[in-house]
Each structure stands twice: as C-alpha cells, then as structure tokens.
Structure 1
Amino acid sequence: MSADVAVDLGAGRSVRGLRADGVAVFRGVPYAAAPVGAGRFEEPRPAAWSGEWDARACGPTAPQGRTEVPGLPDLSVLVGPGWLPGAEYLTVDVWTPDPGAGGLPVMVFVHGGSFTGGTGSAPGYDGSGFARDGVVLVTLNYRVGVPGFLRLPGAPDNRGLRDQILALGWVRDHVARFGGDPENVTVFGESAGALSVGALLAAAPAGLVRRAISQSGGASHALTPAQADRVTAAVAGQLGVPATVAAFAGLPDEALVEAVAHVSASGLDLAVDGVRDPLMGLSRFGPVVDGELLTGQPVEAVRAGTADGVDLLVGANRDEMNLYLVALPSPPVTEPMLRAAAARLHPGPQELIDAYRAAGRGVTPGEVLSALGTDYMFAVPTARLAEAHADRPGGTWRYEFAWRSPAADGRLGACHGVELPFVFGLVGRIDTGVLGIPGTDPDVLALAGATHAAWVAFARDGDPGWPRFTADRPAVRRLDVAGSLTLAADGPERALWRGVR
C-alpha cells in the first residue's frame, strides 16, 4: 500500500509524492524551465512554477530515439523507455527514507546514454535501496543530443552539462527539505554520466559536491572545438539548414532526434588535426572544450586542483566493450579489422596487439579488440583520473568490477553497465535483461550487498572500505566474488597507452 506524502519547498511551492515500504518517492520535479523553441539552445534557467507539483508518477524524458528496436536486446533497464514527450523534462526524482529527517547523506546520479539518450527514471536507477539504507537519492534528466551537446554558433556550449550544474544547485537549495545534508552531496554517474562527473570536477562551482564517483568513465573525453564543429556540420547538412540558433530553433524535436540517429550511424570520423576521437566512435556527441566551463581535458583541471577537497571513487569494468561486441549485433571481428581499429587508437597498432595477446588479454581478434577498446575508452582514462587526484587534497579510491556475467555462454563477462544493479541494490529485485545477472545465486547476492554497501559508506563518510589509491601504493579493489585487493591492476600492456591521446 502507498500513501501520499507532501514536502513544502518554500516560496509557495510544494511537491506531492508517494510513500511505500518505508520510502518516500517524488518523481518529475522540475529544477529548470522547460526547454522549448529557441530555449532548447539557451542557458538553463531555474524552474518558475508555483503551488503544488504532482510528483507521484514519472515525468517526460529528453527527446531521444527509441530504445525498443526489433532485433536488438532490451537495454531499457539501463537507458529507460526512450522518449516520453513533454516540455517539462528537466526534472529530478528523489527517494528519501524520511522527509522529516535531517543530516542524511545525499547521492545525485547522472545517467548514461552516449549523451544522446537515457533518463534518471530508468528502472535500473531506482533509489529505494539507497533510501532504505539512510541515503537521499536523487536522479536527474538533462538535455542530450542536439539541444544538449551540439556546438552551435550563438548558443552556449555544453548545455547538458550546464543543466547538471543547475540540478546540483537545486539539490543544494532544497535537499534539506527531503531530509538530506546539502554539505554532504556525492555526485555519481556511469558511462556518459561518469564522463559528466569528470567534467563536473573541472567545471562545477566549488562547494556543490563533497564526493564523486565515476563508474566506467574518466575525464579525458572532451571533444576539441574542431571535432565538435565537424559534428555540427554533419547535423546541419542532414537537416538542410545553416548551423545557426535561428535555423535550428524552428525545427521540431523529431527532426533533431532523427538527425542524431543518422549522424551517429554515419561512421563520421572525429580524428581531426592529428587528435584521435576521444569517444572512440561510441558517440558523436559529448562535452566540448569551450574555453569557459572546460579549458582543456577535465583530467588536467583535476590535476591542477579544481577538485581539491573532493573525495573521489573511480573504477571501470574488466570487459567493458563486450556489451558492444557480444551483447549487441555486430559482424565477426577479423584480424584486418582488428589492425585497422588498433591503428585508429594507437601509433603502434601491431605492437599493441602483440602486447595484449602476450598479457593474456585475448586470443581471437574480437577478444583483443574488446580489451583494447575497454582500456582506451574506460580503464586507462580511469587510471589517469585516479593518478591526477591521488596527491591532491581529498582522498582517492579505485576499483575494478570483475564479476563475469554467465550470459552469452559466459562471453559477456564484466561488460559495460553490469555493475549498475549491484550498485543500486537491485540484484534479485528487477529483471536485469541482457546483463544476465542471476538473482538467486548466494555469491552474487553477497557481492551485490557488498558493492551497494561500499557506495553507501563512501557517501556517508568517504570510505568505501578499502585502502586509498596513492602514487606510491596504487591499491585497487577487485569487486568480484573473491573480493581481492591488488597493487598491480594495470598490466604492462596498459603502459603502451602512456602519452597516447
């Protein structure tokens, strides 16, 4: 049974949510004005509604493509239902054990989705488990695709990132009314959400967050202006309009979503002026070095001190790219395809391939390609972020999620996104779909409990339960059934990425 519960936000505003099983949930609460027309390409503005907001059901999502596609696996647990139309989609969902409490740790989750899709309301981000453990959990929506991240003359860059910053400001101003401590906020995210966390460490105003968690991201993936301009030219060409705010403002959201899909599938090469594609072709949209929020790669800003005083937990999964090469339909990888892919990532492709095979990181071309992509996109940037912050004020912790899913005859492994149900305490509670996580296995349930507890502990007091990562003692916790600690997570093959950008 559920019952209505209301929270007074002050200034003539209140929200009405639902309480059930000891958790109060408020969904679709606007933190920003609806982005419509030309406003889709403007700086976000605080929401200006008044009265009582009905927050008892999920709200709309950002304009994006479909997630249910015939012939493709169901990824809705990770990315949500796709586009649920509605103007008021710049919203937060809030889970709390008790709106009348005070001083509870706060966690704010930034969803993934290649910067072109996703929603904080996806079933895999249900915050009930965190709330039951005494955390106020907030998820947020932000602009994606063309409105969020296309570099457009006359519009501020990184609009989706600006949305996230405004949402964090909303949390600071209002979370105490949900029982949370605005001085103890942990921002965390996975995939594009983790890249967003990396960017926020460089761009967010000081004091908005106390801690941060990057799951399968890093802080080395911002596009150069020239790379972003190449995407802009492709999108404008697809739409048949000039690359101006005035021209784009008159287009419907449906046209912008279709253009994103076309450009994403076009094979557009973002290697420009000798700079490799930092997103490895997994997306054509993302944060850009704009000279304002981001003056360079976020990892360099962290190294210079922009995240001083922030406790940082970073990690990646052992077999990230298996989600793309095993779970999703893709042609068999041949040796020539492997060499061509390696050449796009590294100046010494054959040396790289040989080193990965010698290190036991794969035998078949597909296995080696997965290992190369995992390291280039996820593991090596994660290590760089940990190293950049290790000697700065604020603790640094690092993990590697190594539990291997039995899906696809065991070939899926510790793929991209598989840690999310463990983190959110949802193993055995929801259908994990393509991730294939057995919800009744005692060892798996124990790992899920330990992983979730580590995130809660980190948010509460800044200690996930294993030693810090430092320059002279690079401790990395392996999150699997064995639960080992290693000082040598990065084998000799990863040393070949040193200096490669």
Structure 2
Amino acid sequence: MHRRQILTGVSALSAAAIVTPVSAKDRYPRVATRAGPVEGFVKGGISTFLGIRYGIAPRFQPPIPLPVSKQVYKADHYGLSSPQSGRADIGISEDCLFLNIWTPDASPRKKRPVMFYIHGGAYNGGSGSDPLYDGTNLAAHGDVVVVTVNHRLNVFGYLYLARFERLLRGGANASLLEHTPLRFSGNCGQMDLHLALSWVRDNISGFGGDPDNVMVFGQSGGGAKIATMMATPAAKGLFHRAATMSGQQVTASGPGNACLRAEAFLKTLGLKPDADGLAAVQNLPMQALVDALKTPDPVIGKGNVYMGPVLDETILFRHPFYPDAPAQSHHIPMIIGNTKGETRGFLGGNPKNFELSWDDLPNKLPPEYRVDIDPYLVVDTYRKLYPTMSPSDVFFAATTAGRSWRGAIIEAEERAKAGAKTFVYQENWPTPKDGGRLGALHTIEIPLVFRNTGVEGAITTNTPEAQHMADLFSDTFIAFARTGSPQTTALPEWKPYSLPNRETMLMDLKPEMANDPRSEERKLFEKVPFIQQGT
C-alpha cells in the first residue's frame, strides 16, 4: 500500500471516529401531549408528526376529546380523510379527526408562530394530507410550526337534522337548549375544527409552537370555514390571526334551506324525516351516505346537494358577515385575498369556454356568476371597459367578479366600517401552465404560500418566476403570522383596507399597491344582492 493511500485511510478513519451518531431521540422526536405521548420522525431537518388523532367523531354528533393514554402514539403516516365521493387517491373513514404537524424543533425551548391550515374543497371534499399542503418547506423557511387538519365534511359534518328531531319531540314545546342527539348535526364539521384548535392550544407548546400566536389560514372552502368561525362564539379565543385565500362566507345556510336539503338527501336514501328515518340514517353504512351525495340540490336547482354551516341557533347564531362584520373578531388582524381569474379554475377545464362568441354570453353568464343581473348589461359594460377582451375573457372576468370576488369585497368593506384591521390582496400573476390561458386562477396561491411549486401537479409549475412568487407569498404569510402585518421588504407599503380607498396589494412579479382596483366591475355587481349557495 502506498503512503498516500495509508494517510487517506487514516484520515477517513479519524473523520468517522469524530462523527456523532444520530440518536433515536433525534430521529424519532417524542412529545408529551395531554392525551399521551406522540412520536414522529425527521424529514428534511423538520420534525414531522402525521396523523395525530385529536378526537372521536360519533355520526351527526359533536366530536369527543381523546381519553388519556400512556401508550406512545406513532405519528408516522397520514390519517384517514372524511368520507367523500370522487377521491380514490385517499383513504376515507368516519373516523377522520386527525392533524399533522411540521416543526423545526419539537420542544418547548422556543415559541414559534403557529400556522394552522384548513383545506379547501368547499364543505364537500378535500384532505389535509394533500401533497400541496406538506408543511416541510414552509416550516423550514419561516421558522414556524405548520399544522394541517382533517375534519368531517358534507353530510357527515353538515346534515341538518335538528329541526326534524325537535318536531318529533314536541315542536314549539321542545326547548332549543335540550341536549338531543342530533342538536348539533348541522355544524359538526365546524365543531371538529374548534376541537382541533383547542388541541393546538393545549399541546402545541411541546412542539415548539406558541399557543398565544395561532394563525388560521385556508383556501376556498378553508377560507369560508374561517370566516364562519370568526362569527361563532364557540371558536372565540382559539386563534389570533386569520388569512383567507379565495374563500369567503358572507351568509351561512338558512335552516329552512338546510331542512329542504336534508329531506331531499333522506329521500334519495328511501327515508322520510320521521322517527324511523332519523334512526335509520344514523346507522346506515358509510358508503350508502357517500353514494347519496349525488342528490340534486333542491334549492339551487342544479348540481349535487350542498352542505355547509347552518344558522342553527345552537352553534351559529348569526351569519358570518351579514349584516356586518362580527364584533367578536374585530380585534383579529385578517388577510382577505382573491385571484384575478378565479373562475378559470372552475370553468377553464372546458375547452368550449375558450371559444365563446358574443351571442353565447347572455345564456352562459347567469348560471355562473350566480346573481340576478341583466347579462346584456354585463356584456355591454365589459366591452366598454375592456375593448380588447374576447368573449371568453369577458366570461371568465364577469363570473369571477359576480361569483367569487364580490364576497371578498363585502367582507373587507364590513371590517373596514368596523375599524377592524384588514389587508387585502389580488393575485395577478398568471400560471405559465397550458400556455398561460388559465391565468391567475383559483388555487394558484396554495403552492406559493407552502413553497411547494416543485410538487408534482402544482398548478404554478416550478419556473424561476413561480419560485419568486413563492418567496413573495410565503414571506408575506410568515410575516403576518409573526407580527399581524403582512409587510415585507419585498413589498411596497401595504396599507390596511379602508373606505373609500379600498387599498389592495396586487401580487405579481412586481407587486403594486392600488386603490379600488377594477372599481367599475365592483360597482356593476354591487347593485344586486350577493347570493351564496347556502342561502
């Protein structure tokens, strides 16, 4: 053996001798919770805990906190998701109350901001285990604790049976305060979220999070769930900042409409809203209820039956943002955001929508912008405002303004009237996917905020421009979680939303602050009442 080889070998042995072995404690961090110890794993330098059970979900009843157990809970894989149709890629079960945690350090040595994400999918579908919601990159970049959650959806979380049960118990003579089995059925999905946030409050310090600095954020249905919680007394004090992305809930489902939907759903199952029917629906196989989700909606007149939070006078006592912004949340800083081309995410999958003529629009527009306004007036207004727009461009712009953006404006305006600190953005950057024709569509912020543009299937793609937008969005949300302000050095001065200025941050490769953007579109649609699916 040559001398150089000998020296090289000695050096390698010496280096090996001084390497500190990674202990099982470092590879498999363990945290004591009030319900017992949980053990996770380390991925990408981040302590990861998947599928932590936070409660038990009896059908159509409030969730139950976990009993204490001394057995170590292995949090090494995602838990099951709420029953839903059309998602063969995820495991589903009524036993679906699980949350996931990513933290730079699973110990109470430091109190980091907690970013609690609520998934979209309306109130009908979705899962906190979607790869786009993996919190590794966000936790590492922002030195924050990220939490995602599963909860009950559709009929399992929002089937309103309380009024039928009350009628069987004496109607007007039956007290609303009576603790009947189905009293909370219309809002069980929301109660699951309350329980998950209570779990975070009680346990997150062991994961390095600050229980006094919890930010809830969510996209689409997740944002709507947050808007609802801001008006729900049972959720008071469970979070300290809120950010909604393309998700607003001005009004909840009225109890009358909720009854119509429940009755239609029961009819699909071959049941009536009587004693036998209520008993049967509580015991039918899960799959029978999932199959019945195809019930046509009796209120809207098209599409599958809608289920969402109900003005039940038991959990929810007022509409989320009607007639005003809820006083219980005035002190909570809030981000309200939407994308410039929301409905390209809903309607852009149909190639025919990119080939429309002017003659097509009067019939195509009303079902999609969901408000009662003359379509000829809408078309004429847009052609005058934007002469270069094609009929398809007008279709997407008008449906976005009437159907999605309008709710965000109402929420921001009501909070401005109350003096509640609110920061508004409009996502303008278009995805380059599919030649750019999808524009700034619904869901585009998700991979940006989570810094997951490299995830397979991310609508943003993973171009340098997408990564730049991810820096802008994630830094903004991290700053907001930490301080209650979204201001970063990469943004111009971000002023809170006020009237009549309507300050709005236009999020693009070069962000800009604008007053009342698309003002003429706003004025066009504000002349008619805004209608959500629930009402």
TM-score (norm 1): 0.87
* 2:437 matches 1:411: yes
* 2:188 matches 1:159: yes
State the alpha-carbon separation in 1 of the partners of residues 253 and 130 from structure 2: 27
Matches within 5 A, 1:304-319: 304-319=326-341
* Alignment RMSD: 2.4
Which of 301, 307, 321 lines up with 2:343 in the alignment?
Answer: 321
Distance 1:431 1:344, change over 3 A: closer
* 2:84 matches 1:61: no
Q: Which amino acid aligns with 1:46?
A: P
Matches within 5 A, 1:331-370: 334-341=360-367, 344-360=370-386, 363-370=389-396
* 2:304 matches 1:287: no
Kept in 2, the 8 Å contact 1:310–1:393? The answer is: no
Structure 1: runs of 5+ lacking an equivalent: 69-80, 272-276
State the alpha-carbon separation in 2 of the partners of residues 339 and 296 from structure 1: 31
Which of 517, 524, 527 lines up with 1:496 in the alignment?
Answer: 524
Aligned residue number for residue 298 of structure 1: 320
Aligned residue number for residue 426 of structure 2: 400
Q: Which amino acid aligns with 1:207?
A: G
Distance 1:320 1:195, change over 3 A: same
State the alpha-carbon separation in 1 of the partners of residues 514 and 448 from structure 2: 21
1:394, distance to aligned residue in structure 2 (A): 4.6
Q: Which amino acid aligns with 1:297?
A: H
Distance 1:339 1:322, change over 3 A: closer
Give the count of matched residue pairs: 468
User: Which runs of structure 1 show a deviation greater than 6 angstroms over 4 or more consecutive aligned residues?
Assistant: 329-332
State the alpha-carbon separation in 1 of the partners of residues 368 and 28 from structure 2: 56
Which of 117, 122, 129 lines up with 1:114 in the alignment?
Answer: 122
Residues 221-277 of structure 1 show CA distances to partners (whole Å, capped at 9, x for unaligned) of: 4222222222212211111112353121121111111111x12xx4x3525xxxxx9
Moved more, 216-225 or 51-60: 216-225
Aligned residue number for residue 137 of structure 1: 146
* 2:128 matches 1:98: no
Aligned residue number for residue 71 of structure 1: none
State the alpha-carbon separation in 2 of the partners of residues 371 and 406 from structure 1: 19
Percent of aligned pairs with the same amino acid: 30
Moved more, 401-410 or 102-111: 401-410
* 2:45 matches 1:22: yes
Structure 2: runs of 5+ lacking an equivalent: 1-21, 166-181, 488-493, 531-535
Kept in 2, the 8 Å contact 1:61–1:86? The answer is: yes
1:110, distance to aligned residue in structure 2 (A): 0.7
Moved more, 59-68 or 136-145: 59-68
State the alpha-carbon separation in 2 of the partners of residues 28 and 395 from structure 1: 35
1:301, distance to aligned residue in structure 2 (A): 6.8
Matches within 5 A, 1:221-300: 221-243=251-273, 244-260=277-293, 262-263=294-295, 266=296, 268-271=297-300, 284-300=306-322
Moved more, 22-31 or 442-451: 442-451
Aligned residue number for residue 15 of structure 2: none
State the alpha-carbon separation in 2 of the partners of residues 258 and 362 from structure 1: 46
* 2:400 matches 1:374: yes
Matches within 5 A, 1:188-207: 188-203=217-232, 204-207=234-237
- Higher Cα Rg, which structure: 2
Residues 38-80 of structure 1 show CA distances to partners (whole Å, capped at 9, x for unaligned) of: x210011112251211101111111112336xxxxxxxxxxxx
Aligned residue number for residue 147 of structure 1: 156
* 2:65 matches 1:46: yes
State the alpha-carbon separation in 2 of the partners of residues 304 and 28 from structure 1: 33
State the alpha-carbon separation in 1 of the partners of residues 50 and 461 from structure 2: 29
Distance 1:328 1:284, change over 3 A: farther
Q: Which amino acid aligns with 2:456?
A: D
TM-score (norm 2): 0.82
Moved more, 41-50 or 410-419: 41-50
State the alpha-carbon separation in 2 of the partners of residues 224 and 456 from structure 1: 36
1:354, distance to aligned residue in structure 2 (A): 2.2
* 2:249 matches 1:216: no
Q: Which amino acid aligns with 2:483?
A: D
1:289, distance to aligned residue in structure 2 (A): 1.7
State the alpha-carbon separation in 2 of the partners of residues 227 and 145 from structure 1: 15
Q: Which amino acid aligns with 1:397?
A: F
